[in-house]
Every structure is written in C-alpha cells, then in structure tokens.
Structure 1
Amino acid sequence: MQNLPPIWLLRHGQTEWNAEQRVQGQMESCLTQLGIQQARRQAELMKPILSQRPLCFVSPLGRAQQTADIALGGAPFETDARLAEICAGDFQGRTNAEVAQGFPELFANNSTTLDLYCAAPGGEGFDMFQSRISDFLATLTGPTVVVAHALLGQVMRGIVCSLGRTEMGKLSKDQGCIYLLKDGKEQVLR
C-alpha cells in the first residue's frame, strides 16, 4: 500500500494459551506474568512515541485490550473490530498437538502458522483476513499505534512492506517489542 503514515505495531504479551501452545484465534486467554512484563517493556518503548500523540487503535480481544492498558500508559485508544486475530475455526481452543492429530493432512501441508490457521475448517481464510486488514490500513490519516496479534501483525507488516503471503508467514511474531512500519519498511524496536 502506498502513502501510509508511520505505524507502531505491538503484539499482545504472552497469554496462558500461548504458553500451552493452544490455538486462540478469536477466543480469549489472559496474559501470563511474562505477558504483563512484556507489555511493561513496550510501555517504556512507547513513552517517546506517545508524546507525539499518535492515534491508537486496539483489537477488541481481551489480551490486546489488557496489553494496551499497560503499554499505552493510559493514553486514549479506539477499539476496532478489524484488528481482531484471524478466526481459526475448528482449530480454536485446541493445542497444536490436537490440531496435528485431528487434522494431519492440513497440519502436514501448511508449514507456517499463518497458512495453517488460514486453512482451518470453519475459519476466516486468508482473503477475508487480508481484506479487513487492508480496509483498516486504508482509513489511516496520520501516525498510528496498533495493538493486536501475531498473525494480524504478520499480514499487516506484509501489506505495508509489499510482501507475498509466503513471506508474510515467515515474519517474526515477537512479543514485548514494537514493529515500526514506515516508508514500506519494518524496524523492530526493543
């Protein structure tokens, strides 16, 4: 996408289900103590950014809201449903091992988490997921902070950096950092 303003993208901190290697998708799971520490680390990184008064948007899911409450240090934010994580259909609530056992062919044929979740029966799929992220990006009018999720972050970063789906699925999904997206490039702030 052309002519996008700078975006500071934060993934939520570690959740109980992240620690259990359980598929969250659009289901809820609370931050762990590590996740809270990661959000506090983001809060330190955000101080100079927030002094610029960027617009802040957050996924409606609890883990992103909890992270935003910590990382944005009380700065106002707007909740936007387009920032929810991908709906992973029948995979949601299952551990990775249960997905591998219950859907062996899908598990074997989709090497990245992004590809696997996009292939989930009853799920959202890549095209709809990418479309709602692109729709959100098209509405941005100035420097913006986004607090969201791993796969949403991969696709958003991929769109901004003009990557294909395969490359998107290989992007990092780190917690406790900030991805600065500016001029079609990505920089990780730690």
Structure 2
Amino acid sequence: MTDQSPKTPPSIVLLRHGETQWNREGRYQGQHDSPLTLNGIGQIRAIAETLRPVIEELGRCQLWSSPLARTRQSVSIFCEQLGLSYADVLFDDRLMERSYGRWEGLTMGEIAARYPEDVKLEQSDRWNFAIPEGGECFADVARRLRNWLNEIPNDMPVITMAHGGSGRVLRGVCMNLKPENIFAFNDPQSSAFVMSETTTKTVQAAPQYLRAFGCADAGLGVRI
C-alpha cells in the first residue's frame, strides 16, 4: 500500500463477529445485518476464553467495535465471557464492513446471474472497484480505517470487534501490506490477531473451547 503507515496503539487485538445466518447461507452482508447463529455465539465465547491470558497480560485496554448489530452482539458476548464492561465499548462507523451496494443480501451465484458486468469489473481491479448503488471499494475501506487508527489514543492496547472484510483490510493497513497480500488472508471466523509495531500473531480458538461451547466448526474464512 502506498499510503504512509498510520500510528498505532502498542497492541491491537482484532476479532471478527461470530457466524451469522447470512454467513451460513453464503450471502454478502456488507452494512446490512443478520443475527448470529448458535454456532456464532459459541465461536465468540471460544475465542474469548482462548484469549483470556492475552487480555489479562495486556491489562487495561480500550474496547472498540463496529456499530452493526452482529458486531454489537459479538462484542457483548465477548465482554460478558471475560467480565469486561460492555458499557465501555466505543463504536465507530469506520470499523464497519465494506458496503457491498447492490450485492448485499445476495449469494455469489445470484450476483453473477444478475450483475455479470459487476463481476468482470471486480475481477479486473478488485482493490478499486466500487460496487454500484452505494458500494465501496477496498481502497475506500482502507482510507477510513487509516483515519480511525490515526485518531484513536495510542497510549494503551486496543481490542477491536470488526468484520471479515474490514478486519483483513485493517490488518493490511497496520502491516503496510499490498492488496494482493491482504486478499490472501483467509483465517477461520473464530480467529483473532494480536498485532504490535513489531509482531503479528494469529490466535485460533482452542478446540476444547469450541467443543465446550457447542461449535460445529471454527467458522468460515473470508471468501470475499
């Protein structure tokens, strides 16, 4: 990425919301919403327990979240599981998922049938293609996330609940990666990422916690 790297907090713990009904159906959500499944609730509880020693070691943290309903529900479950205060969570529109415009609520098959020209344009320039009818391009998402990073206090660690698309772009912004490297991220839904100025660590929800909380699987990767 060509933009200057933003200033960042000493550590960022980045999470993705749990599985939703539309995730299960393979539908693009963007800035529309669908509720968490029981599997998604279990995924958040499992990654919270897996991260417990990390959060305890970090000490006092700021809590941030996208304001969309699925991330609000996920961060509420995360806080309750770890005894953190949901009242302390700060919500920011810049953490929201990419707006997918007229694709939202559709499967990839439905998009290809209705809007084949969109698919061709997306494939030709995936980073800069803005989906019609209010959609964003990934470059737009990177700009708003960089602005968020530059404006938040950087004197304490941050825990952030985001989305599959916006989350991987945030990782790329923090690590100053090229778009092709950002698109290569495809970690399960119940993953977390602990990032500092010098290191990035991927944390997968521990299998024993996934089993304990009734999860059918570790969750989807980022398919979009």
Assess same fold via TM > 0.5: yes
Q: Deviations over 1:61-95 (max 9, x none)?
A: 01111110111224331111111111110101111
The CA deviation at 1:119 is 3.5
Question: What CA distance in whole angstroms lies between the structure 1 residues aligned with 2:195 and 2:97?
Answer: 19
Residue 3 of structure 1 and its aligned partner are, at CA, apart by 4.8
Quote how far apart the aligned CAs of 1:47 are: 2.2
Q: Which amino acid aligns with 2:64?
A: F
Give 1:179's match in structure 2, choosing from 190, 193, 211: 193
Aligned Cα root-mean-square deviation (Å): 2.2
Instruction: Give the alignment partner of residue 159 of structure 1, picking from 173, 176, 193.
Output: 173
The one-letter code of the counterpart of 1:42 is: I
SS at match of 2:14: strand
- d(CA) in 1 for partners of 2:41 and 2:118? 33
- Please, which of 152, 160, 170 is the counterpart of residue 146 of structure 1? 160
What's the TM-score once normalised by structure 2's chain length? 0.77
For 1:127, the equivalent position in structure 2 comes to: 139
Match of 1:81 among 93, 97, 101: 93
Is 1:57–2:64 an aligned residue pair?
A: yes
Largest Rg, 1 or 2: 2
Instruction: Select between 10-19 and 180-189 the one with higher mean Cα deviation.
Output: 180-189
SS, match of residue 72 in structure 1: helix
The answer on 1:97 being equivalent to 2:104 is no
Gap regions ≥5 residues in structure 2: 205-224
Aligned length: 189
Percent identical: 31
Q: CA deviation at 1:167?
A: 1.4
2:29: which partner in 1?
A: 24
| SS, match of residue 94 in structure 1 | coil
Name 1:36's counterpart in structure 2. 41
State the partner residue of 1:7: 12
Q: Deviations over 1:4-45 (max 9, x none)?
A: 221000000110000000010000110011101100112202
Closer/same/farther in 2, CA of residues 13 and 118 from structure 1, 3 Å limit: farther
Q: TM-score with structure 1 length normalisation?
A: 0.90
SS of 2:126's equivalent in the other structure is helix
Which residues of structure 1 form unaligned runs of 5+?
A: none
Q: Partner letter of residue 66 of structure 1? A: Q
